[in-house]
Chain A
Amino acid sequence: MAIEAPLPVLKPTDFASNQDVRWCPGCGDYSILAQMKKVLPTLGVPRENIVFISGIGCSSRFPYYMNTYGMHSIHGRAPAVASGLKTCRPDLQVWVITGDGDGLSIGGNHLMHCIRRNMDLNIVLFNNRIYGLTKGQYSPTSPLGKRTKSSPMGAIDNPLHPLSIAIGCEATFVARSIDTNIKHLADTLKRAAEHQGTAFVEVYQNCNVFNDGAWDYAKDKDTKADTTLELIHGKPMIFGKDRDKGIRLNGMNPEVVELGKGISEDDLLFHDEKSPEPTLAYLLSRMRYEDGFPEPIGVFRAIDAPRYDVAVNDQIDEAIEAKGPGDLEKLFRSGDTWTVE
C-alpha cells in the first residue's frame, strides 16, 4: 500500500454484526463467539480482510454474527469454499467454522483434503458430540452406546476423534480447547490465527439442549485438573489438582504415573509441538478420559510446511517468469496456422 494510514484501533464490539444471535440460551457457542471477538482486534488485521466461512449446523450460523465478510455455505463444504477463496486471495485471513457433523460426517472429505494441502485457513470445529440443528441425532463423535432419537438402543458407530483425523491428514497445526475455559480458548484461537498453514482447533462445546453435560468431566472445576492436561511446549506433562501426576511413556504406550515415589519430572514425557514427526501429537490425541487419561488441551502440533495457497500463486509467477505474461495473440497463433488471402 502506498498510503500508510495507521490502522484504527478496534474493540470486540466492532466485530459484532447487527444480527441478533439466535443460539439457544446457555449454548457453548456464545462463549466461542465472545472469545473470537476478543481475539480478532489483537491481530492487527482489518475487518475487511477477514472472512468467515461455515457450512450447516448450529455452529455454522457464526458468520452472521461477525462484522466481517462471510459466507454461510452448504453442509460440509466450508473447507472447499474457503479453499477457492484463499487460492484466489492469499491476502485474506480466512476462518472456517464447522461442527462435528458438518466437518467430520458430510464434509469429511473436504476437511481431509483442505488439511493435507495446508491451505492457510483457521478451522474451528465445535465438537458437541450431537446433531443439534436437526434436534438430537448421534454424531460421528458421539460415544458408543449413546442413546439419541436416531439411536434409541444406543449408537453402534465407533466414534471419530477429530484431532486424530487432522493429524492423520498431516495437519501442521492442531490444538484443542474448551468453550468455558475462556482464557485458554482465546489464547488457542490467537495461536491458530498466527499459524501459517491450516490450523485445526477442536473446541469442546456444550449443547445444553440435546447433549447437556457431554464434557462435564473436562469442564467441572472440581474434576478438570485431573481430567485434562494442559500442553506446554518443552515442558513435562504434569496434571492433577496437586500437580502430582504425569504422563510417562512405557514402550510405545503412555501411562499415568504419580510423581514422587522414585519418579521425577525428568521421567515424564516432554511436550514438543515442533516435532517434525506427528507420532507424539497422535499419541496425545488418543488419550481419553474413559481410558483413564487426562485429555490434553492446548497446541498438540505446530510446524512449518509449504502452503498450497502460496505455492499455487508462486507457480503463476514462475510461469510468467518463464514464458512472459500471457499474450492472447501469441496463444491463438501457436502451433500450425495458415492464411487465406
Chain B
Amino acid sequence: MSTVASKQVSQLEDATVRFCGDSGDGMQLAGTQLTNTSALAGNDIATFPDFPAEIRAPRGTKAGVSGFQIHFSSTEIFTPGDTVDALVAMNPAALVTNLQDLREGGVLIVNKDAFDKKGLEQAGYTDDPTEDGSLTGKYKFHSIDMTKLTRLAVEEYGLSMKEADRCRNFFAMGLVFWLYDRSMEPTLRFIEAKFGKKPEIAGANTAALKAGYHYGETVEAMNTQYQVAPAKLGPGTYRNIMGNEALAWGLVAAATLSKKRLFLGAYPITPASDILHELAKHKHFNVLTFQAEDEIAAMTATIGAAFAGEMAVTASSGPGIALKGEGLGLAVMTELPMVIVNVQRGGPSTGLPTKTEQADLFQAIFGRNGECPMPVIAARSPGDCFDVAQEAWRIAVRFMTPVMLLTDGYIANGSEPWRVPPLAELTPVEVKHPPGHDPSQANGNGDANGDEFLPYARDERLARPWAIPGTPGLMHRIGGLEKADGTGNVSYDPINHQHMIDTRAKKTALVAEDIPLQELDGADTGDVLVLSWGGPYGACATAVHRMQRAGKAVSHCHLRYLNPFPKNLGEILGNFKTILIPELNLGQLRTLIRAEYLIDAVGLNKVQGKPFSVAEVVEKIESLLG
C-alpha cells in the first residue's frame, strides 16, 4: 500500500509491551502469542502475567482487569521491565489501572469502542480521556475503533456478535505485531492447531489478526515501526518456557534419569495447578498423577508413594502447604525421599491467590510441630525451575529426606527463553534399594546376608536405607512415633529421643557438605552486597549490574539453598560493609541471616503482590551508598 513507504523504522535495544483488558478479553493469550513470536525472533524475553483471582469479575470493572507484560530485548535481560513502552488498553478500567506504568512518550493504543458512558463510569472517569486531550500530548496516542474494525474484518464468517467480539484480542495482537515487526507465523500456526476443527472461528481469528496488522501498516497515524534485534544468547537450541512447565519437566527428567516412576499427589490450587496439568499430559513418561480429595491426602498419598519406592512429589501453594504440615512431619520422621513444591502466593490465609509473594520461607523452614528440619531450596527464574526440581530430588535421595522447593507465582507464570539441555548434560540421580534375602528360604528375616535388617541404620550422610515393600526379608514398620535408633522400633526413651532429634538436625545440616559453594556476582569485597533468593533474582541482578557499570562497589549473591545455607556464606557476608536483602515479605531471610551470622542486614521489603522493579532495588542500593 502506498502509505507503507512513508513509515519510519526505529531500532531499539529492548521494548516492554503490556496488554490489558477485561479478564474475558483474552489478554493472557495476546501476551503469550507476542512472547512466542518474540522468542522465535531470537530476543531474550521475560514476561509477567498479572490477572485477577476471579475468572470473570463483573465486566468492565477495575477488579476484572487482566494484564500481560512482556519485555523483549537484543541483550540479556532478567526482568519483565519496570516501565512500559507500549500499552494496549481494551477498556477504560484497563486504562485507568495501567496508565501510570506507561512511560512518557510511549505508545498508547486504546479500544475507543469500549469508552462508552457505562465503561467510563465503571472506571471512575467523569470525562472521556480519549477525547479530553489529556493523552495526546503525553503519549503516542492511538484511539482505535477495535470492536467495529474487528466486526468488519470477520463479517464473512457469519459469527454472532459475541463471537465476533471475541476476536478483538487478535486484532490487538496484529497491531502490536506490526508495531514491533514481529512475524504472524507462530500465531497463525497456533490458530490452526487450536481452532482447526472450527473453520469459521479459525478464519475469523486469522482475519482479525491480519486486519490489525494491516491497520498498523496502512494508517498514517502509526508512523513508526520498531525493531528489536535478536539477542546474543549462547549457542544452542532454545524454546520459550514458563516456570511451572519447566518445573514439571525437571521432575519428569529427574524421574526418567533415575529410572523411577513419578508420582504426583496434588489438589488443585492457584498458582500451582499447572504443574498437575502439565504432568497429567506426560503419562507416557510413567507419570502417575493422583488428584487427591484434599491437600492432606495429596501429601499423605505422596508419603505412601515414597514408601512404595517411587519418585514422590506433591505441589501446592501456601494454604495447601499449611494443610500438609502434619504430613510433612511424618515425612521427616519416616525419613523418606520426596519433593514438596510450594508455588508461593500472597498470604496469609487465602490472601492474594493470583499474586506473587515470598512470605512462606518461615513456613518452609519452621512450619511444623516439633524439631522438624527439612532442606529448603528455591528457584530464581522460570528456566531455573527445571534445574532446581532435579536438585531437590538429588538431595532427597542422597539424604533420605523430604525437600521443600519454593517458587512463586511470578516465576511460575512468567516465561523466558530456555536453552534445551543436551541429555548428556543432565546428571542422573543414583537410587539404591537394599536387596533382600533369598525368597525361597522359608521364614527368613534379614538382609541379603541374613543379618537383621535395621531400617534406621545410617550411612556417612546419616541417610537410612530405602527398603521398599516387596523385598523379601526386609519387612519393617515405620511411622510417626519416635524411632529407636537403628531398629526403628517405637521408643519413648529420653536419651534416644535427644539422639534422634540431634541426628535429624545433623543430617539436614550435612546437606551443606553436598551442595556447591555460594558464588558471587562481582567483587568479593565491597560496600554493598545484595543478597537475594527466589523471584527477585532478576531485579537484583539487573540493579547490581547497573550499579557496577556506574563504578560502585556492589556485588550480588543469590541463594538457591536456604536450609542449610552454603557453608561459605558467612565468609562472603563478612566482606561487605552492608548486606541488603530485598524480599517480597517483611524480612524472613533477613531474620534468618541475622540469627545465623549475627550480621545486621538491611531489608528492602514489599508485599504488594507484585515483583520488585529494578528501580526500587537501585534506589535502595543508592541510599545505602550515601
User: Is chain B found bound to chain A in the same assembly?
Assistant: yes
Interface residues of A (CB under 8 A from B): 3, 5-6, 8-10, 14, 17, 19, 46-49, 51-53, 56, 63-64, 66-75, 77, 80-89, 91-92, 109-110, 112-113, 312-313, 315-316, 318-320, 322-326, 328-329, 331-333, 335-341
B412-464, CB < 8 A from A: 420-421, 423, 426, 436, 439-443, 445
List the B residue with the shortest CB-CB distance to A52.
B477
Asked whether, in the complex, the Cβ of B239 is within 8 Å of the Cβ of A337, the reply is yes
Asked whether, in the complex, the Cβ of A69 is within 8 Å of the Cβ of B302, the reply is no
Nearest CB of B to A326, in Å: 3
Asked whether, in the complex, the Cβ of B304 is within 8 Å of the Cβ of A83, the reply is yes
In angstroms, Cα B334 to Cα A85, docked, is 14
Does B326 sit at the interface, judged by CB under 8 A?
A: yes
Q: Given the interface contacts A81-B300, A316-B284, does A332 sit within 8 Å of B421 by beta carbon?
A: yes
Chain B contact residues, majority secondary structure: mixed
Among the 9-residue stretches B125-133, B211-219, B228-236, the one with 4 or more Cβ atoms under 8 Å from chain A is B228-236
In angstroms, Cα B308 to Cα A69, docked, is 10
Greatest chain A CB density within 10 A among B253, B305, B475 is at B475
Nearest CB of B to A133, in Å: 12
Q: Which of A19, A46, A66, A74 lies in contact with B480, CB distance below 8 A?
A: A74
In angstroms, Cα B265 to Cα A279, docked, is 34
Asked whether, in the complex, the Cβ of B294 is within 8 Å of the Cβ of A83, the reply is no
In angstroms, Cα B470 to Cα A19, docked, is 21
In angstroms, Cα B230 to Cα A97, docked, is 63
Asked whether, in the complex, the Cβ of A5 is within 8 Å of the Cβ of B238, the reply is no
Which residues does chain B contribute within 8 Å of A82, judged by CB atoms?
304
Q: Given the interface contacts A82-B304, A316-B286, does A332 sit within 8 Å of B256 by beta carbon?
A: no
Nearest CB of B to A243, in Å: 45
**Complex interface bits, B233-249 against A, C-beta within 8 A gives 1, otherwise 0:** 11111111000000001
Asked whether, in the complex, the Cβ of A48 is within 8 Å of the Cβ of B473, the reply is yes
In angstroms, Cα B265 to Cα A82, docked, is 12
Q: How many A-B contacts if CB must be within 8 Å?
A: 224
List the B residue with the shortest CB-CB distance to A75.
B326
Q: Given the interface contacts A73-B479, A326-B282, does A110 sit within 8 Å of B297 by beta carbon?
A: yes
Question: What number of B residues sit within 8 Å (CB to CB) of A?
Answer: 78
Asked whether, in the complex, the Cβ of A48 is within 8 Å of the Cβ of B239, the reply is no
Asked whether, in the complex, the Cβ of A326 is within 8 Å of the Cβ of B286, the reply is yes
Return the 7 tightest CB-CB contacts between A and B, nearest first: A84-B304, A72-B479, A326-B285, A84-B301, A8-B442, A85-B304, A5-B440
Which residues does chain A contribute within 8 Å of B600, judged by CB atoms?
none
Does B374 sit at the interface, judged by CB under 8 A?
A: no
Q: Given the interface contacts A85-B304, A91-B470, A340-B42, does A74 sit within 8 Å of B327 by beta carbon?
A: yes
In angstroms, Cα B235 to Cα A333, docked, is 15
Does B565 sit at the interface, judged by CB under 8 A?
A: no
Does B40 sit at the interface, judged by CB under 8 A?
A: yes
List the B residue with the shortest CB-CB distance to A337.
B239
Asked whether, in the complex, the Cβ of A340 is within 8 Å of the Cβ of B284, the reply is no
Which residues does chain B contribute within 8 Å of A6, judged by CB atoms?
440
Nearest CB of A to B421, in Å: 7
Q: Given the interface contacts A337-B238, A338-B237, does A87 sit within 8 Å of B186 by beta carbon?
A: no
Asked whether, in the complex, the Cβ of A326 is within 8 Å of the Cβ of B256, the reply is yes
Asked whether, in the complex, the Cβ of A88 is within 8 Å of the Cβ of B263, the reply is yes
Which residues does chain B contribute within 8 Å of A312, judged by CB atoms?
288, 290
Asked whether, in the complex, the Cβ of A109 is within 8 Å of the Cβ of B475, the reply is no
Which residues does chain B contribute within 8 Å of A72, judged by CB atoms?
477-481
Does B469 sit at the interface, judged by CB under 8 A?
A: yes
Interface residues of B (CB under 8 A from A): 36, 39-40, 42, 186, 189, 230, 233-240, 249, 252-253, 256, 261, 263, 265, 282-288, 290, 292-294, 296-297, 300-310, 312, 326-327, 329-330, 334, 420-421, 423, 426, 436, 439-443, 445, 469-481, 489-490
List the B residue with the shortest CB-CB distance to A54.
B479
Asked whether, in the complex, the Cβ of A326 is within 8 Å of the Cβ of B284, the reply is yes
List the A residue with the shortest CB-CB distance to B336.
A71
Q: Given the interface contacts A83-B304, A340-B233, does A92 sit within 8 Å of B284 by beta carbon?
A: no
List the B residue with the shortest CB-CB distance to A329.
B423
Asked whether, in the complex, the Cβ of B296 is within 8 Å of the Cβ of A341, the reply is no
Greatest chain A CB density within 10 A among B302, B436, B479, B480 is at B479
Which residues does chain B contribute within 8 Å of A92, judged by CB atoms?
308, 469-470
Nearest CB of A to B329, in Å: 8
28 pairs across A/B with beta carbons < 8 Å? A5-B440, A10-B443, A14-B443, A52-B477, A66-B477, A67-B445, A72-B479, A73-B330, A73-B479, A74-B300, A81-B301, A81-B304, A83-B297, A84-B263, A84-B301, A84-B303, A88-B288, A88-B308, A312-B288, A315-B283, A316-B288, A326-B286, A331-B252, A332-B420, A336-B186, A338-B42, A340-B233, A340-B238
In angstroms, Cα B469 to Cα A84, docked, is 13
In angstroms, Cα B441 to Cα A322, docked, is 42
In angstroms, Cα B265 to Cα A234, docked, is 42
Which residues does chain B contribute within 8 Å of A14, judged by CB atoms?
443
List the B residue with the shortest CB-CB distance to A334.
B239
Asked whether, in the complex, the Cβ of B480 is within 8 Å of the Cβ of A337, the reply is no
In angstroms, Cα B475 to Cα A92, docked, is 13
Asked whether, in the complex, the Cβ of B239 is within 8 Å of the Cβ of A336, the reply is yes
Asked whether, in the complex, the Cβ of A81 is within 8 Å of the Cβ of B439, the reply is no
Which residues does chain B contribute within 8 Å of A91, judged by CB atoms?
470
Which residues does chain A contribute within 8 Å of B473, judged by CB atoms?
48
List the A residue with the shortest CB-CB distance to B326.
A74
In angstroms, Cα B249 to Cα A332, docked, is 8
Asked whether, in the complex, the Cβ of A77 is within 8 Å of the Cβ of B477, the reply is no
Asked whether, in the complex, the Cβ of B309 is within 8 Å of the Cβ of A88, the reply is yes
Which residues does chain A contribute within 8 Å of B296, judged by CB atoms?
77, 80, 110
Nearest CB of B to A110, in Å: 5
Which residues does chain B contribute within 8 Å of A110, judged by CB atoms?
293, 296-297, 300
Q: Which of B297, B303, B420, B440 lies in contact with A333, CB distance below 8 A?
A: B420
List the A residue with the shortest CB-CB distance to B239.
A337
Which residues does chain A contribute within 8 Å of B233, judged by CB atoms?
340
In angstroms, Cα B265 to Cα A56, docked, is 22
Which residues does chain A contribute within 8 Å of B300, judged by CB atoms?
73-74, 77, 80-81, 84, 110
Asked whether, in the complex, the Cβ of A69 is within 8 Å of the Cβ of B420, the reply is no
Q: Which of B239, B283, B308 lies in contact with A335, CB distance below 8 A?
A: B239
Asked whether, in the complex, the Cβ of A83 is within 8 Å of the Cβ of B290, the reply is yes
Asked whether, in the complex, the Cβ of A319 is within 8 Å of the Cβ of B439, the reply is no
Nearest CB of A to B327, in Å: 7
Which residues does chain B contribute within 8 Å of A328, judged by CB atoms?
252-253, 256, 423, 426
Greatest chain A CB density within 10 A among B261, B265, B306, B477 is at B477
Which residues does chain B contribute within 8 Å of A10, judged by CB atoms?
442-443
Which residues does chain A contribute within 8 Å of B253, judged by CB atoms?
328
In angstroms, Cα B249 to Cα A338, docked, is 19
Nearest CB of A to B420, in Å: 4
In angstroms, Cα B288 to Cα A335, docked, is 23
Q: Given the interface contacts A333-B239, A337-B238, does A48 sit within 8 Å of B472 by beta carbon?
A: yes
In angstroms, Cα B234 to Cα A341, docked, is 8
Nearest CB of A to B282, in Å: 6
Which residues does chain B contribute within 8 Å of A337, judged by CB atoms?
237-239, 420
* Beyond A83-B290, A328-B256, 5 extra complex contacts between A and B, CB < 8 Å: A8-B441, A10-B442, A14-B443, A84-B308, A336-B189
Asked whether, in the complex, the Cβ of B252 is within 8 Å of the Cβ of A326, the reply is yes
List the B residue with the shortest CB-CB distance to A85.
B304
In angstroms, Cα B237 to Cα A329, docked, is 11
In angstroms, Cα B445 to Cα A332, docked, is 46
In angstroms, Cα B327 to Cα A77, docked, is 9
Asked whether, in the complex, the Cβ of B442 is within 8 Å of the Cβ of A113, the reply is no
Which residues does chain A contribute within 8 Å of B237, judged by CB atoms?
333, 337-340
